[in-house]
Amino acid sequence: MRNADMDALLAALAGIFAGEGREAALRSAALLRGAMGGDLWAAQPNCGFEAELFATASAPGAHPAAALVAAAQPCLPWGTNPADGKLSAEAAAATASATLLGPGDPIRCEDLLVGLFWQRPGSYYALHNHDADETYVILAGGAVWRAGADKRRRGPGEMIHHPSGMPHAFQAGPQGLLAAWRWSGDVNFQSYTMLPDPEAPPEAP
Ligand SMILES: [Fe+2]
């Protein structure tokens, strides 16, 4: 169905990735814009974490696009991350992705992916890497973000780029983490690998 809330979200995401400026980001932005007004979106079943997601999206200092994510929630296909099967049990329990653009997604593209990512407050998404180039933009909440040797607290509006193969891990803050992400380059999922991570908290007994 056509959905004005999805159109508003697509416009915001297009603006964010247009601002990144990389060629693949500009191409992603053009595809997101081109999908506005389309008949692409179906009502989705309750994802089970609406209340927590809305709390993250309305955290103080959120990027304006976070409210658009909350408004579009009835059509967001959470649980469609093709990497889900590769995640550790901890990461799978702590995170959710909704892929909007990609080879098998409503906005069809064979060599780019764009989606949303939510991470539960206080949870840890352990170190991993993949062949694809990746850019995250934080929309609400925040995390202590590890990208290669760089580790620091990140908040709304910050953009983090992971070149192909760079290990990354996120410790979500007390309000959780809501972000937009995109993949380009070699977007295969076979290469998605959870890595040994000495900084991972011990598993609960
Ligand atoms: Fe990644």
What confidence tens digit (pLDDT) does each residue in 131-189 have? 999 999 999 999 999 999 999 999 999 999 999 999 999 999 999 999 999 999 999 99
Which helix or strand (DSSP H or E) is residue 31 part of?
Answer: helix 23-34
Q: What is the pTM of this model?
A: 0.96
Q: Is 93 exposed, middle or buried (0-12, 13-18, 19+ CB in 10 A)?
A: exposed
Topology of domain 4-194, CATH: Jelly Rolls (2.60.120)
At 48 the three-state DSSP class reads coil
Distance 134 CA to ligand 1 centre (A): 6
Residues 18, 108: Cα–Cα separation, whole Å: 19
Please identify every residue whose CB atom is under 5 Å from ligand 1, which is an ion: 134
Distance 150 CA to ligand 1 centre (A): 15
- What is the residue extent of each domain of the chain? 4-194
What confidence tens digit (pLDDT) does each residue in 83-132 have? 888 887 878 888 999 999 999 999 999 999 999 999 999 999 989 999 99
Contact 193, 86 (CB under 8 A): yes
Strand partners, 113: 183
Distance 130 CA to ligand 1 centre (A): 7
